[in-house]
Amino acid sequence: MIETTRRQIRIDGEPSIVMSGEVHYFRVARAEWAQRLDLLVEAGCDTVASYIPWIFHELPDGTLDVTGETRPERDIGAFIDLAASKGLRFIARPGPFIMAELKNEGIPYRVYRDHPEIVPLGWDGVQVSSKTVDYLAPAFLAESGRWFDAIMPVLAPRLQHAGGPIIGVQLDNEIGMLAWVTNSPDLTDDLVASFGDFVRSRHGESGPYAVSPGADGWAEVVRSPKEEWAGVLRLDLGLFMRQRFARYVAALREMCEERGVADVPFFINIHGTEGGNGAPFPIGISQLVDTYAGIPGMVSGSDHYLGEATLNTMTDLYVMNAYMAAVHDSDQPLTSLEFEAGSGDYGAGAEMQYDPSTADLKTRLCLAQGNRLINYYLFAGGINPPLDETVSDGNDRVSFTGERHGTAAPVGPEGQRGYAYEATAAGVRAVKANESWLARMDEDHDDVTLGLVLDAYMTEYHHPGSDVMTEVVNDLTSHRGAGERKALARSLLLGGFRYGATHLERRDPAPGSTVLVGTGQFLSQVVQERLVGHISTGGNLVLLGRVPERDLDGSPCTVLADALGITAGEVVRDTGHYFPSLVAHGWAQPWPEMRAGWVQQLTHERGDVVLTDVYGAVCGVDVPLGEGRAIVLAAQVPSDPVLFDRALSSLGVHPGLRLETQWPGVFATTTSTVEGERALHVINTSGAPATVTVALDGTPIAAGATLSVPPRSGHILPLGLEVAGRRLDWATAEIAGVDDDGTIRFRPGLDEDGGTTVIVDGLPVELAPGEHTLRP
């Protein structure tokens, strides 16, 4: 039995960390399947995942081969059984859409030919450029049901509770992503009519539009909006599509269950990283939140491509995990269904090469935040087979990447060990060595949280000719989330704060807590009112960005500013000849004068000034409201742990962890179990060794011992673990394994002399340099 409970994955009752690698059976000759799976097992993984592409299994005449009758690689059941024989679990990803660089994103050509009505029109009635479809078009659902009729009988008898290896099934893939990246909403006739019903229920019969929903001209009102209703349309369309995606996923789940695939987690894969940047990732959460959040049996997983592990990308990853957790219920765990692996050389042209430690460092950060499943994508490359029909598109293969696929993977297209194989394997083995406690641990959080304003990420659709829509989208994109230049998130991380996030549209922050929010001039009335209530009853707010003045539809809304007694003034931006700079006052002193990309002048009725420009114009204030306070920083403030530490200290909030190190790039967090076991996670993303001392809750760890952390390395250090019948109060080395006789093996230690210090049951035990075992 596999279940998700208390944000854990439990397999037959045992909390587990699932370490998986993606191996595409359809891109590997059947005779070579075993070799690829053996390499996965050798790397320490316990699970294999694979897309199951409809386009590969359907023949040109419409028949479906899932048993290998026409090509041996089509025997998907044999691949799953082979994986099971090697002790591997299986995650099935049958679509209908799978992307995976396949033609039509994995949908057969015949489906588009037979049902042209499923292809959406976009803005101004122009056919969309991508291969997306109207997911709820009756013809597409019927065709998807026909595909499921073929594949689900293969999966059902192989489910985990039936004695098979399948521990989860992904429903579709990256739903809504194509519409986002092309800014082309799915505006088929059926969808526009359904949208009219939504508008009628939301606004009444008349509504804010030029004609009533469903009346003559309604489609043109939606597809070619005028400025009078463009702001409302942008908001309505985003809210409607959330509901529509939820209906689509519910339909797919029902199809699976009707065909015997049930009682395993159903996964939703969340897209959103773009060009190595994680800032837009919550767009995917925003689109898909209603498909899984709070729904039993549903689990979301991240899909991220961030590039090399640096201070910048690790900040992104930390925030992505926090935001994902913010919309989950108390049982839904964090998972990652496409966890970027390999060298980064996706174009097979040696344009880039990530440091091999990249996957390991990212894995460690995710595990520290409570991730319970990681699927390395791709783990093994392969060869794209030819299509069974000629389409004259330049290669006539199943994929647009050419003959070879996955050249960046830890295992190359021909089965060779790649550049990143050994480093990835070392990271997997470290996770499995610490699984018994990591699988039960959650990250410790200080009394501080990032405010997730999910509607600020509802920016995937905006008519390119609409000034109203463009203004809102540009404002939201510039200021939302972790703040401009990611200043909120990175400053907290480097300052030792351990934090999560709060979904402000749907949940109140914890009473008395401090919320940090990045915002522009557009912020919904619901969130503004929630923040006012939080501050008034004793909570605190740190707001970075422009002071909110309008609701998301563009209408005036100054609820928060009015409550704080603040009036937003002119925004002054830098130019080639003007360089606005910030000067600190009050608790922010001493702080060096700092250039800012822009400042907004504020008029305030009460409170203290904390930032001005060099000419004295106020742009930062500390304002009391009821029993709490709000710090408003209306300027492009850079990442600066000192400034934000002072701001939070003035509010009575201090980091539970204090790291003393000589430069940025080193950060840490702690995790613990409900029984009180704890681990310290230290990560050095820099290319230089770092000396680090750590204090927890004001007390230096191990009497202030100095750790010598190698460059580009991560470490899980015991800080009160029950291991082999002993209490490890502290160790300056990560556990590498525990033998049957109770011997504890460690990785090389972080003592300055290269040794390892271990405190067992309150007594110090020193391991000599080169000695890495603690015997019973």
- Angstrom CA distances, 629 to 216, 606, 608, stand at 52, 11, 11
Cβ neighbours of 773 (radius 10 Å): 13
Rounded average pLDDT over 641-657: 96
Per the CB < 8 A criterion, the answer to whether 746 and 721 are in contact is no
| pLDDT value of position 462 | 95
Which tens digits make up the pLDDT trace of 652-709? 999 999 989 888 899 999 999 999 999 999 999 999 999 999 999 999 998 888 999 9
Backbone angles phi and psi of 270, in degrees to 5: -100, 120
Report d(CA 555, CA 386) in Å as an integer.
54
* pLDDT band, residue 483 (cuts 50/70/90): confident
Rounded average pLDDT over 373-398: 96
Q: Is the dihedral of CA 723, 726, 728, 734 positive or negative?
A: negative
| pLDDT value of position 352 | 84
| pLDDT value of position 350 | 77
Which tens digits make up the pLDDT trace of 701-753? 988 889 999 999 999 999 999 999 999 999 999 999 999 999 999 999 999 88
| pLDDT value of position 207 | 83
Which tens digits make up the pLDDT trace of 333-374? 999 999 999 998 887 777 889 999 999 999 999 999 999 999
Of 249, 102, 243, nearest to 171 (Cα)? Answer: 249
**Helices (DSSP H) in 26-137: which residue ranges?**
33-42, 54-57, 76-85, 109-114
| pLDDT value of position 664 | 86
The two structure tokens encoding residue 472:
């809102």
Report d(CA 176, CA 270) in Å as an integer.
10
Give the list of residues 6+ apart from residue 446 with CB closer than 8 angstroms, or none.
Answer: 497, 498, 499, 653, 654, 655, 656
* pLDDT band, residue 203 (cuts 50/70/90): very high
* pLDDT band, residue 268 (cuts 50/70/90): very high
Tell me the domains of the chain and their CATH numbers.
2-103+139-183+261-440 (3.20.20.80), 448-650 (3.40.50.880), 657-774 (no CATH)
Would the pLDDT of 244 be above 80? Answer: yes
Q: Which single residue is written with the structure tokens 């790397």? A: 43
| pLDDT value of position 752 | 87
Would the pLDDT of 766 be above 90? Answer: no
CA atoms within 13 A on the CB side of 750: 30
Q: Is the dihedral of CA 293, 294, 300, 302 positive or negative?
A: positive
The DSSP result for 229-265, as a single string, is HHHHHHHHHHHHHHHHHHHHHHHHHHHHHHTT--SSP
| pLDDT value of position 281 | 97
Backbone angles phi and psi of 474, in degrees to 5: -65, -40
Report d(CA 303, CA 307) in Å as an integer.
13
Backbone angles phi and psi of 693, in degrees to 5: -120, 145
Which tens digits make up the pLDDT trace of 318-330? 999 999 999 999 9
Q: Which single residue is written with the structure tokens 């039995």? A: 1
Would the pLDDT of 459 be above 90? Answer: yes
| pLDDT value of position 185 | 94
| pLDDT value of position 775 | 85
Rounded average pLDDT over 615-619: 97
Report d(CA 215, CA 65) in Å as an integer.
46
Report d(CA 581, CA 595) in Å as an integer.
4
The DSSP result for 336-365, as a single string, is EEEEE-S-S-TTSS------TTHHHHHHHH
Report d(CA 1, CA 374) in Å as an integer.
20
Report d(CA 115, CA 246) in Å as an integer.
23
| pLDDT value of position 141 | 98
